[in-house]
Structure 1
Amino acid sequence: MAGRRFGLRVVGHWILITGLLITLLSLGCGKAETTTANKSKLPADLASRFDATRAWRDLERVVGFGPRPSGSDALAHTGAYILEQIRAASLQAEEQVFTTNTPRGPITFKNIIARTRPNCPPRFIIGGHYDTKWLPRMKFVGANDGGSSTAALLEIARVLAGQPVDAWIVWFDGEEAVQQYSQQDGLYGSVHMVKALHAQNKLRDIQAVIILDMIGDKRLQLTIPDPMRPKEDVMNKWSAPLIQQAFAAAATLGLRDYIQLLNHEMVDDHSPFDWNRVPSIDLIDFDYGNIPRDNNFWHTERDTLDKCSPDSLRIASQIALELLRRLEFHKWPPK
């Protein structure tokens, strides 16, 4: 993934899905102020509640839908499955639907949101994309790239159901460029969400964004773009404390060896938030293949279930959950 993209002309609407709502543990939404140190509202064993076996079953189901590019019937079936699982977890579900022009013509996209507390603006977003790259000349099922994040987020949603935290779990549509990443192509869903939140004066309420992408690789090595490199210091300085918390979260779980700094820029669904000075982090393994540093399974027919592991889904998701717990536990964001 390379390059930057900024504005898109989009039209859209929000569809509120009537479903089961969680019982509120406290009246009203959480305040924007930080949680008092040493009084986390989230349980200490939050990360351990992630069920890798159940997440793997979700991944098998998602891959079973076949290639899932934006606007396809297969992605619509995937979206229906996600909504079904959100409702089953007694979470509030929303669809954010919009249409925009692409190099392949107008496409209707759909972001899917699970809210931990009904009608509350998010303090935290945990997200990833559920579309796969449009590759018409091959059967690209995206078990890792698109599938792993979809499945992991479903289990993360189940873990967070009923927890006293104002969080959105988001499945972004249109992360993949139709042709090649540019100002006009790629990151459709996350760009649209940022614009919608900004228009509603809710973007300022978001204290952290955690993106998961390509986290299923059996040879898992998660990376985070280095925020201290001079050419990116201006763009990423507000995300540096969040990245430090991510490393601390991994160390707490005994998973520090699975995460390291990346030595080049990465454009992903965290980027539109980061460009708008929202602390954001991208947990991604972008070395996916059987040749070190070649990434030779990426966007090929070899991105299949046998290259993935339920344990990898667990590791990445547990780091994300522990990071969320730490953000509640410590005074966040830092002043």
Structure 2
Amino acid sequence: MNPSTYADRFDGHRAMNDLIRLCSLGPRPAGSEAMERQRGIVAEAFRSHGAEVSIQEFEGVHPLSERTVRLANVVGSWRPERPDRVLIGGHGDTRPRADRERDPTRVLGPFLGANDGASGVAALMELARHLTELPGSAGVDLVMFDAEELVFDEVGDYCLGSCEFALRARNQERAGGPSYAAAVVLDMIAGREMCLTREGFGRDYAAWLTEDLWNVARNRGTSRFSDDWGHYVEDDHLPLLGIGVPAIALVDLDYPQWHTLDDRPEACDVGAIEAVGRVVLEWLGRWASLPESPGKTGLLDNENRE
């Protein structure tokens, strides 16, 4: 199967419907009842499309009350028996406060996180619909990370869920279990004006992976990926880089509604999430079709590419 044709199956309208459904739960900060309901929705979406689903439960500390917060990542695994794996992830929690609101009376309003939270998860849900037919035999994990931003006005620690995931992944590999050849994090990928730039840490420490995704985007002719250098972003790819997994973040930090109450579904665009989803799905299809992991040379430079 041609990876480009296969990737065209990613349906931006379905992904937007999932985004709207998640936002209908209301704000979904880590530890909330709404976040727990979202976990159930995502786990069922993964399971219904052929994944082996696991829930990674762990605990965090609320940065203000110092109370214990129950947290959990949702992991969907396709071809779980495969030792060499690829990870696509995104955080599901929403910021506890809309801390970029200039009006102090709005800071505590209901932050829905349509782009900053729901867009990455909605993309994972749409990707899940196509992984049973993924070309080749590579193993793929989709992960919804918890507690990426359980932070109040910069009080607290970022990326608790991906830190927990990375710790378990490292221990698993050391025990002779599977390992990750690459990871892509999806965060804020549906903004109406989105044009993704190359995030700094991924560019510096996983340059070949950055170029792989950008080459796919370039070959597809999408205008949603820019060749410009972007910001250095503290995101869920950093804990993965920290354990030696090549990882990048697709993140639109120039989103005008970032951390404001205007981060709602109407600020999101079908074309944006579809463009990113199709690039990621084509990249996955090309990767999975290779007889061996392409390594740091980049999969589109491999002589076995289609």
- What residue identity is the alignment partner of 2:59? T
Candidates 109, 117, 122, aligned match of 1:146: 117
TM-score (norm 1): 0.77
Change (3 A) 1:238 1:333: farther
Equivalent residue, structure 2, for 1:179: 152
Change (3 A) 1:85 1:250: same
Candidates 77, 82, 85, aligned match of 1:123: 85
Candidates 214, 224, 245, aligned match of 2:212: 245
Distance in 2 (alpha carbons) for counterparts of 1:270 and 1:162: 26
Regions of 4+ moved over 6 Å: none
Is 2:62 the counterpart of 1:95?
A: no
Unmatched tracts of structure 1, length 5 or more:
1-40, 228-234, 290-296
What does 1:1-335 correspond to in 2, within 5 Å? Answer: 43-104=3-64, 105-121=67-83, 123-135=85-97, 137-163=108-134, 164-179=137-152, 185-201=157-173, 205-226=179-200, 237-255=204-222, 258-289=225-256, 297-329=257-289, 332-334=294-296
Distance in 2 (alpha carbons) for counterparts of 1:115 and 1:257: 29
Distance in 2 (alpha carbons) for counterparts of 1:276 and 1:152: 25
Distance in 2 (alpha carbons) for counterparts of 1:42 and 1:68: 38
Distance in 1 (alpha carbons) for counterparts of 2:229 and 2:28: 28
- What does the per-residue CA deviation read over 1:231-259, in whole Å, with 9 as the maximum and x for residues that have no partner? xxxx9654011111111110121115523
Contact 1:249/1:326, CA 8 A, preserved across alignment: no
Change (3 A) 1:226 1:326: farther
Contact 1:245/1:326, CA 8 A, preserved across alignment: no
Contact 1:116/1:162, CA 8 A, preserved across alignment: no
- What residue identity is the alignment partner of 2:218? A
Change (3 A) 1:122 1:95: farther
- What residue identity is the alignment partner of 2:171? A
Contact 1:144/1:216, CA 8 A, preserved across alignment: yes
Distance in 2 (alpha carbons) for counterparts of 1:226 and 1:178: 22
Distance in 2 (alpha carbons) for counterparts of 1:333 and 1:256: 27
Distance in 2 (alpha carbons) for counterparts of 1:281 and 1:287: 17
Distance in 1 (alpha carbons) for counterparts of 2:245 and 2:272: 27
Distance in 2 (alpha carbons) for counterparts of 1:256 and 1:188: 33
Where 2:169 maps in the other structure, the secondary structure is: helix
Distance in 1 (alpha carbons) for counterparts of 2:115 and 2:249: 15
- What residue identity is the alignment partner of 1:111? N
More helix by share: 2
Unmatched tracts of structure 2, length 5 or more:
98-106, 298-306
Contact 1:225/1:261, CA 8 A, preserved across alignment: no
Contact 1:128/1:170, CA 8 A, preserved across alignment: yes
Distance in 1 (alpha carbons) for counterparts of 2:261 and 2:204: 38
Aligned length: 280
**Coordinate RMSD, CA, aligned:** 2.3
Where 2:234 maps in the other structure, the secondary structure is: coil
Where 1:288 maps in the other structure, the secondary structure is: coil
> What is the aligned-residue identity percentage?
32
